[in-house]
Amino acid sequence: MAWFTCTICWPLVYASKFGGQRMKHLVKLAVAASMLFAASASAQTTTPFPASVEASIQSVLPRMIAWRRDFHEHPELSYEEVRTSRVVAAHLRSLRLEVRTGVAQTGVVGVLRGGRPGPVIALRADMDALPVTEEGDLPFRSRARGHYNGQDVGIMHACGHDTHVAVLMAAATVLASQREQLAGAVIFVFQPSEEGAPPGGLGGARRMLAENVFGDLQPEAIYGLHAWPQASGTVTMISGPMMAGSDRIDITVTGSQTHGAQPHAGIDPIVASSQIINALQTVPSRQMDAVGSPVIVTIGMIQGGVRYNIIPQTVQMQGTLRYLNPETRERFYERIRRTITETAAATGATAEVTITENAIPTVNPPELMARTRAAVTRALGEDHVLNGQPVMPAEDFAYFQQAVPGIFFFYGVNPPGVTQAEAAPNHNPRFFAHEPAMETALRAMLAVTLDRVGGNTQS
């Protein structure tokens, strides 16, 4: 078994999920003991890695946890990851990697060249946090605040990106210790702004690609992972479509303003908008193949009117459109536009529709997935490598997959005994990552890397 579970950390999830003064003492004890328990538990496991690699893994585990806690306590929003980038770059330089900073504004790229020629691969971690106020009771909880969309907001690593960065830093540490034995090169990509492009701009993956993220190297494969609320000690591999494409929709419904007591004298855009929202739900349920073309339409914002007795002139709506099958995107959007405009026309109103691309579907090539799964299975054991179903959240890792064959997978971060249904989901103010799960992620990333450039480090 190539992973460990830290049952002493179990009180953390209660503190994170439920809070309360009565848990603080247990939390402090758990945090203080977790790294010692992790090291001793992990040392007792068998491993498929050579002794030198295993020794390096054991050595870096406490630092990986410390990095994660530091990033969690000091989160930064998209394209504001200045401190995070500085910490990452300093560490990569300490490993004698070739380091570039300022790629896509706050991104960091490190290159490790092995002692012998061979293939090039890339490993990616995203660094940005979310405008979410943390509600957990961790000793290293975030108290950071910032500005988002003109509002003062709390900032939290509510999607596990702090763990992604710490895991990739740890992987760089282990691999750098094996530099002379490696046959090839590894590019470490620390990406900003995964959580959505700024208005009129590019998200982190697209911007890094536009700024020649790989430099003079051309990787034959790229790998990324994501914390997910499932069993700790497991990874989930999904061949083919894995995560959805996600685009933003903006709708302006225009009617004719009138007195609220005389609706017949105007055209009510609020009533028209309500009918549009309902009609849009017939697109996934009645106009698209639910099996071959799963899609979601969500309206997340509606705003219209300034006074209770005035029917307004316009209503603004914003939402998200999700789809798994890239081939169905245009057909899906054709039906969206038709449903909106014709429903508005039936009420006498007009509707303007704008759809802005946000992320394309994340699709894992089956042949590359088979090789990746085999490597991770050798490292973790068959019982800890799971199959899964596609999910509708989106990931801009998909843009890297357009440029380079790539594999993306989940690693479970739930504490023992907590089911996926019980765990707080990603983007929730009580999202919690069980730290011992990070070793699973580290071992998986090392496995896929050494499968390609391992040279004499492979067992």
Q: Tens digits of per-residue pLDDT, 210-244?
A: 999 999 999 999 999 999 999 999 999 999 999 99
**Could you tell me the pTM of the whole model?**
0.86
Residue type, 374: A
Question: What local confidence, expressed as pLDDT, does residue 4 receive?
Answer: 34
Task: Return the CA Rg of the chain.
Answer: 24
Question: What local confidence, expressed as pLDDT, does residue 130 receive?
Answer: 98
Helix (H, G, I), strand (E, B) or coil at 356: strand
Question: Of 409, 410, 240, 241, which Cα lies nearest the Cα of 324?
Answer: 241
Residues in the chain predicted with pLDDT less than 50, given as ranges, are 1-45
Question: Of 202, 192, 194, which Cα lies nearest the Cα of 159?
Answer: 194
In this structure, how many other beta carbons lie within 10 angstroms of the beta carbon of residue 361?
22
Span 100-115, pLDDT tens digits: 999 999 999 999 999 9
Distance between CA atoms of residues 159 and 138, nearest Å: 16
Question: What local confidence, expressed as pLDDT, does residue 42 receive?
Answer: 41
In this structure, how many other beta carbons lie within 10 angstroms of the beta carbon of residue 145?
11
Contact status, residue 132 vs residue 140, Cβ threshold 8 Å: no
The pair of three-digit structure tokens given for residue 393, joined into one six-digit string: 């959240």
What are the residue ranges spanned by the domains of the chain?
7-243+361-457, 245-359
Question: Of 39, 16, 11, which Cα lies nearest the Cα of 26?
Answer: 11
Check if CATH label 3.40.630.10 holds for domain 7-243+361-457: yes
Sign of CA dihedral 163, 167, 173, 179: negative
Residue 299 CB partners (closer than 8 Å, separation 6+): 277, 280, 317, 318, 319
Residue 189 CB partners (closer than 8 Å, separation 6+): 107, 109, 122, 123, 124, 125, 208, 213, 222, 400
Sign of CA dihedral 320, 325, 328, 330: positive
Residue type, 187: I
Question: Of 78, 72, 82, 70, which Cα lies nearest the Cα of 108?
Answer: 82
Question: What local confidence, expressed as pLDDT, does residue 198 receive?
Answer: 86
Question: Of 252, 214, 272, 132, which Cα lies nearest the Cα of 400?
Answer: 214
The pair of three-digit structure tokens given for residue 25, joined into one six-digit string: 């003492």
Cα of 144 vs its chain's centroid, Å: 20
In this structure, how many other beta carbons lie within 10 angstroms of the beta carbon of residue 94?
12
Torsion of CA 265, 271, 272, 275, to 10 degrees: -150
In this structure, how many other beta carbons lie within 10 angstroms of the beta carbon of residue 210?
11
CATH number of 245-359: 3.30.70.360
Output helix, strand, coil percentages for the chain, rounded to the nearest 5.
40, 25, 35
Contact status, residue 213 vs residue 177, Cβ threshold 8 Å: no
Question: What local confidence, expressed as pLDDT, does residue 178 receive?
Answer: 97
Cα of 405 vs its chain's centroid, Å: 19
Sign of CA dihedral 416, 418, 423, 426: positive
DSSP 12-72: HHHHHHH--GGGHHHHHHHHHHHHHHHHHHHHTS--SS-HHHHHHHHHHHHHHHHHHHHHH
Tell how strand 183-191 and strand 385-387 pair up. Answer: unpaired
Query: How large is the angle between the packed helices 161-177 and 437-453, nearest 10 degrees?
Result: 50
| Residue 77, CA distances (Å) to 12, 329, 385 in order | 25, 30, 32
Question: What local confidence, expressed as pLDDT, does residue 46 receive?
Answer: 56
